[in-house]
Homo-oligomer: A and B are copies of this chain.
Amino acid sequence: MSARPLRIGDVAARVGVTPRTIRYYEERGLLAGGDRAKGSHRMYEEADVVRLQELIRLRDLLGLSLEELVELAEAEEARAALRDRWESDPNDEERRAIVEAAIPLVERQLALVSLRRQKLDEFAAELQDKLGRLHARRDELG
């Protein structure tokens, strides 16, 4: 895994946002921009692209505000911190704790997705209804 670095424009293009959005998210604490000499270029790796993708999807598909994203991100952060310990210290009890902490987070996201789907389905049903009535009327006039 060579992990050659990506520039902010590449990351932005791949995720479908602008560099400005990435800088703003960093400013809000959603993305690590961490240790960097003032004025020097931000550098990213594949893991950052995946992470940003997820945030953007939570924003677009579920309509979460950045404040809500920060909450979720902090939970993920805690998980990531645990993951680091995972690498260094392969204690089975700790591994279990890490996995068990991760599960409810994903379940929560799934619950939000289900709720959205339900609302979309209701909307789709109403539109189908409307369309059916229109077709019926057209046929009456046919």
Whether, in the assembled complex, A128 has its beta carbon less than 8 Å from a beta carbon of chain B, the answer is yes
A107-120 contact mask (Cβ, 8 Å, vs B): 1 or 0: 10110011011011
Given known A107-B131, A123-B113, A127-B106, contact A138–B100 (CB-CB < 8 A): yes
Residue of B nearest to A121 (CB): B117
Give the most central of A106, A117, A124: most B CB within 10 Å: A106
Whether, in the assembled complex, A135 has its beta carbon less than 8 Å from a beta carbon of chain B, the answer is yes
Q: Which residues of A does B touch, CB under 8 Å?
A: 57, 60-61, 63, 92, 95-96, 99-100, 102-103, 106-107, 109-110, 113-114, 116-117, 119-121, 123-124, 127-128, 130-131, 134-135, 137-138, 141-142
